[in-house]
Chain A
Amino acid sequence: MRLRKFGSGLISVLALAASIGMAHAKSDIIVAMQLEPPHLDPTSAAAGAIDSVLYSNVFEGLTRFGPDGSVNPGLAESWTISEDGKTYTFNLRPGVMFHDGTEMTAEDVKFSLERARADDSANAQKALFAGIENVEVVDPQTVKVTLSAPNGSFLFNMAWGDAVIVAPESIENIKSNPVGTGAFKFSNWVQGDRIELEKNADYWGEPTKLDKATFKFISDPTAAFAAVMAEDVNAFVGFPAPENLPQFEADPRFQVLVGSTEGETILSTNNKLPPLDNLNVRKAIAHAIDRQAIIDGAMFGYGTPIGTHFAPHNPDYVDLTANSKYDPELSKKLLTEAGHPDGFTTTLKLPPPSYARRGGEIIAAQLRAVGIETEITNLEWAQWLEQVFKGKDYGLTIVSHTEPMDIGIYARPDYYFQYDSPEFQKLFTDLTAENDPEKRSELLKKAQEMISNDYVNGYLFQLAFPTVANAKIKGLWENQPTQATDLTGVYWED
């Protein structure tokens, strides 16, 4: 009897505690991701992890990407384009303040664009600004950008994380103390562990429902699984172990979003390294690869096969998978024609993500079946960037290219896969200059076919983007039109 009384007392205390906790929806969130940014300046590094934390949360550009990949007004409220397509006049939003209290004006826009396109600029995507001829401040709320030639994707380019607006007053310490105009302001960075953001009370737009957001970095897939299961983190964006997703799906505590990304996962091929410089050899590799086996084996079924370097959800996508369908016999024949009847040996250097490590083992086995031996080397990201991306010291590698609309990398002969085709370069110049949507679409399709027919790289699959989150969190982006974790619309359901 006493015991039961005690028990019921305990329950009521617990209920009371719970009701206090329930009274308000949570206003803070812990979001985990795999990679930590090397520093916090999105305008001077290629590392996507910087944008994953800061894009749209802390930094904003003239335009911004919506969750569906559309280009929406950002700091520019509206704009007009001149008849010849060369002059863009942006009307900036009034009363936008940087987090340090200074006002965002046309001068800041001019500063940001000039800085990004300067000769000594460290911007990782300088091509976005290459067409800009002049940036003119008309008045504090108006800025006029003149291009050397019409550029149909200029507004799209301005939405990239590399084109966000920064202020000359705070540029010096931007790498450790980023000052932007976004709905969150940077508060703390514990290196190796987390970055904390807090609500920007003076935000020009709709204020966020969250008061505090913490980004936590967990690189190990097993630790990631444990952290989500134990609810140490509220959400994990880009969950690294696809094999665990069914468990989360079966657990009512969690929601699993599997979105599309701009990540074309490819078997990058060193087009200058013999025998890979031979078209027939590359074609043989393409036909030796069984995409579905890679998607099933490495990604546990998450991923869409691609036959070219283009996102399947894009309306201009052409399905070219038949061009390199799985046909080991044809592959062996092609190798014989290319003068390698007994195959050859090359290197396969793999960065850490599981799509690369597991995909690499599968591809190695598939290539072995047609006589191509690969020496697998597992690399950390820093080594991969040094040896493969910068040093071009590799035969084959697997990597996901997550930038949106990045087919333009094939027009850069010095890019790490060293595809040097004057026809493609000309096609891409025409494409950049083209403003007519229909003709652009036609050229884009042609570009996809050209690289597919040249078998520049082995085209594997479009990377899926799994997010595991507490079932009560709403407003997370499902898809990844650009690398971003936009928390401005995220809230806890009561």
Chain B
Amino acid sequence: MSLFLYSRTLLPGAFLTLLFAGAALLSLVWVPYDPTVLDIANKIKSPSWAHPFGTDQFGRDILSMIMVGARTSIAVALVAVGIGMLVGVPLGLAAAARKGGLLDEVIMRMNDLVFAFPSLLIAVMITAVFGASALNAIIAIGIFNIPVFARLTRGTALSLWSRDYIMAARVAGKGPARISLEHILPNVANLLIVQGTIQFSLGILAEAGLSYVGLGAQPPTASWGRMLADSQTMISFAPHLALFPGLAILLTVLGLNLLGDGLRDILDPKLRRVRA
């Protein structure tokens, strides 16, 4: 509990994140109404006890859709960040171990290439070629996460490579691969967790953006971005249709950013020293 004292942002961030993660997990076993079943007679109802967030243009319960949408968002963003980490971190470690070498050049220039494209453009390209689906959205968001992690890992690893304890490990006869794994990676991990949280929130935004333009999860899978897109002609007379998915995106992204900030406060060794 004392951890929360170090950071004013950690508690609200963790609360919001757990709230939506909890809603997503809960939706696996229980939702108030099945969001794939339409009830046209009950369409566009304002919030009530039966439907706390109201119903949408097909009479589906918006609360249920938000819960299932949380699952879609979190799953897409989680897997996408996973791809980015699993590919990006080894690339960054390898580049740092071979600093100035051909491998370093090749890896980092490829990263620059991916980085040079606006991230959503890559996503649109991928979905245009392979069709719109949640899986392709995951791949697209994953791909533009790779250079973020590769660069972060390489940059941090480079400063570590000149440390005395690394020198000691080299003298002891450890190869670059082992050093990277045993000594560099654990020291980069803190930063990766912080960056991962931030990327996670960006992933959720990207998923919402892609489904907003129709390139993310396809119906009947509920998705926050598509809920927004579907409701925008009705904002003038049924604002709750856009309000709740909009709030869900806002609060989740806010929560993750606060959490990332808080984690950095705790995990970053430099900041820790200041506190001490």
Contact = CB atoms under 8 A, between A and B. Distances in A.
Contacts of A241: 233
B38 A365 contact: yes
Given A221-B233, A361-B220, A293 B38 contact: yes
Interface string B229-254: 00011101100000000000000000
Interface string A228-245: 000000000000010110
Interface in B8-38: 36-38
A296 interface: yes
A93 interface: no
Contacts of A366: 38
Interface string A12-24: 0000000000000
Given A243-B233, A244-B233, A358-B57, A378 B218 contact: yes
B237 A247 contact: yes
B214 A297 contact: no
Interface residues of A, number: 23
A246 B236 CA distance: 11
A361 to B, nearest CB: 5
Contacts of A444: none
B131 A377 contact: yes
A401 interface: no
Interface string B46-57: 000000000001
A241 to B, nearest CB: 4
A218 B237 CA distance: 22
Interface in A324-380: 358, 360-362, 364-366, 368, 375-378
A222 interface: yes
Interface in B103-159: 131-132
Contacts of B177: none
Interface string A199-229: 0000000000000000000000110010000
Interface in A286-335: 293, 296-297
Contacts of A365: 36-38, 58, 220
Contact of A362 (B58, B232, B233, B234): B58
Given A296-B40, A297-B58, A368-B36, A378 B236 contact: no
Given A362-B58, A377-B131, A377-B132, A247 B38 contact: no
B216 to A, nearest CB: 11
A364 B236 contact: no
B219 A225 contact: no
B40 A293 contact: yes
Contacts of B43: 296-297
Contact of B236 (A225, A358, A362): A225
A378 B37 contact: no
Contacts of A297: 38, 40, 43, 57-59
B214 A362 contact: no
Contact of A222 (B36, B59, B219, B233): B233
Contacts of A368: 36, 220
Given A297-B40, A378-B132, A364 B218 contact: no
Given A368-B220, A376-B219, 12 more contacts: A221-B233, A243-B233, A246-B237, A247-B236, A297-B43, A297-B57, A361-B220, A362-B40, A362-B58, A365-B36, A365-B220, A376-B220
Closest 8 CB pairs of A and B: A241-B233, A297-B40, A293-B40, A365-B38, A221-B233, A222-B232, A361-B219, A296-B40
Interface of A: 221-222, 225, 241, 243-244, 246-247, 293, 296-297, 358, 360-362, 364-366, 368, 375-378
29 contacts: A221-B233, A222-B232, A222-B233, A225-B233, A243-B57, A243-B233, A243-B237, A246-B237, A247-B236, A293-B38, A293-B40, A296-B43, A297-B38, A297-B59, A360-B219, A361-B220, A362-B38, A362-B40, A365-B36, A365-B37, A365-B38, A365-B220, A366-B38, A376-B220, A377-B131, A377-B132, A377-B218, A378-B214, A378-B218
